[in-house]
Structure 1
């Protein structure tokens, strides 16, 4: 029997919530409030959740909220929540809505549903695209964005089309996902073995050899087998490619060229073989006042491979954003 979505309700210093936003139900995981006190003005005790700054964590391709376990444990001074994106984990899996506009609407709706007027968004890979899109399409809902191995979408597109190295790193994967049905079968057969190979190929050897990797990949392989999860994950990739040949994709890219008027932090593992340095450099054209940090020894999953370094950068960034 395929796994039940309840398998992603993993115990820890957090609580599991169901939040309705933008017409669907999201599985949201909120860090234990006892470990996240507000800034100095509430040093005597934890403030009510809606009075603390909201930080929303958005995972990447093939993953689910668990990829942010280290940040749920390690980030303090804010209300920290990790989300199963549309189609993943314990969230609803509608047949459509995997375009940039809808995904940005999901995030803006989550901010409102959680009782806040704005949030700092943190995203990895596809989750980073959601951060960029939400900051442009719903600017009043976004206080700041921090992204991990997720360059600005226009910068990434330009790099893929003009740099052979970035094209070779990304295009084979993106193109193989465009055919119907077979990619879903490939991702889920042999209990998700293909997903493990993908993650291994983009990670540092040190992390791959660790117990943390073994535990994480076990959860990922089970979660991708939840009915419709693999299809939903692939729909993100399919829209990213197919929309480039349609009017909607050209409109989306034009909208993404608007100035980014919120604080930006970009983190990239310096041995990431999937997102190279060039698109990050090009991102500076769209976010010239952002901070660009290289995480030593980390691959594509820096927030999991080097959590202490990433948590330090994120904590300082959030503190600066909210004037601590």
Structure 2
């Protein structure tokens, strides 16, 4: 049985809407004052999740005085699932379009994992709408997309290599417990993820698993190709806006050394915080601490 697409519109202290941008339609969960005065904060989720990963931070940021929009990236949840253009620059164009469609001239873009790669890319590819950047569990894309840079541990590279195989990775998410296994494997030891059923059902929506896999495949396969080289060249520039980087000390995907070069790409204010005991899923493993760190940083931007 195909899951009901409405499952992505979970109730809570937010509203759901579809936003037209970059030739597609994107699902956004938003909260906070929509009066044109509150600064806009756009939240981007990680693979294999959706906007729901930010459920603890959405009301916290709204109560702190921000207008919050947590969007489903292309291919995920309630957003459009195009058959092509699974590259990071296309996702940057999506975010740029969503910001404009929400009536804002600029936004603070905060991304986790895959969404963090999009956030890192915003100052170079969409500088006109990027006020500041927050990244969680996401090293800068230049060393990450540089052959032999060894930013990721061998275990992470092994997982990414498995995802390059056609068909089988998708089936592990749609017909087996691949989502649950991945959440547990990438979390801190002993952490039990919440929302596994929702993430699993969302991954079983038509075309979601394929879109998610194609995005991961692009990140690896594009490295030696011209499109990957153009992307790496574009983001290999100094970032003038403020940047906050959060990572977990127990993240099995990226060790603390994976972030050692990030500050070299930031000419603006750069803040780096390690969250003790947290794994890869920072918004869910340390929800209150992440919310407090984001609010403290956002207040400094005013």
Q: Does 1:242 align with 2:229?
A: no
- Structure 1 CA distance, aligned partners of 2:7 and 2:273? 35
Question: What corresponds to 1:37 in structure 2?
Answer: none
Q: Does 1:12 align with 2:12?
A: yes
- Structure 2 CA distance, aligned partners of 1:245 and 1:110? 30
Matches within 5 A, 1:102-251: 102-158=90-146, 161-163=148-150, 166-190=152-176, 193-208=177-192, 213-214=193-194, 216-251=195-230
Count, aligned residues: 299
Q: CA deviation at 1:206?
A: 4.9
- Structure 2 CA distance, aligned partners of 1:101 and 1:170? 23
* Aligned counterpart in structure 1 of residue 48 of structure 2, from 62, 73, 85: 62
More helix by share: 1
Matches within 5 A, 1:276-291: 276-287=255-266, 289-291=269-271
Cα RMSD of the aligned pairs, angstroms, is: 1.5
Question: What corresponds to 1:316 in structure 2?
Answer: 296
Q: Does 1:52 align with 2:38?
A: yes
* Aligned counterpart in structure 1 of residue 76 of structure 2, from 78, 83, 88: 88
- Structure 2 CA distance, aligned partners of 1:109 and 1:221? 28
Note the alpha carbon deviations across 1:120-159, whole angstroms, 9 max, x for none: 001000000111112211111000011100110113345x
Query: Is the radius of gyration larger for structure 1 or structure 2?
Result: 1
Q: CA deviation at 1:161?
A: 2.3
Residue 11 of structure 1 aligns to a residue whose secondary structure is: coil
Note the alpha carbon deviations across 1:192-233, whole angstroms, 9 max, x for none: x1111111011124531xxxx33x112111111111110011
- Structure 1 CA distance, aligned partners of 2:36 and 2:259? 34
- Structure 2 CA distance, aligned partners of 1:59 and 1:50? 24
Q: CA deviation at 1:169?
A: 2.8
Q: CA deviation at 1:162?
A: 4.1
Q: Does 1:253 align with 2:239?
A: no
Question: What corresponds to 1:272 in structure 2?
Answer: 251
Unaligned 5+ segments in structure 1 are 34-45
- Structure 2 CA distance, aligned partners of 1:312 and 1:3? 35
Residue 265 of structure 2 aligns to a residue whose secondary structure is: coil
- Structure 1 CA distance, aligned partners of 2:30 and 2:89? 25
Q: CA deviation at 1:107?
A: 0.6
* Aligned counterpart in structure 2 of residue 303 of structure 1, from 279, 283, 288: 283
- Structure 2 CA distance, aligned partners of 1:16 and 1:50? 18
Residue 96 of structure 2 aligns to a residue whose secondary structure is: helix
The 1:185–1:5 alpha-carbon spacing in structure 2 relative to 1, beyond 3 Å, is same
Q: CA deviation at 1:272?
A: 0.5
Residue 207 of structure 1 aligns to a residue whose secondary structure is: coil
Question: What corresponds to 1:3 in structure 2?
Answer: 3
Note the alpha carbon deviations across 1:106-126, whole angstroms, 9 max, x for none: 010011000000000010000
TM-score by length of 2: 0.95
Unaligned 5+ segments in structure 2 are none
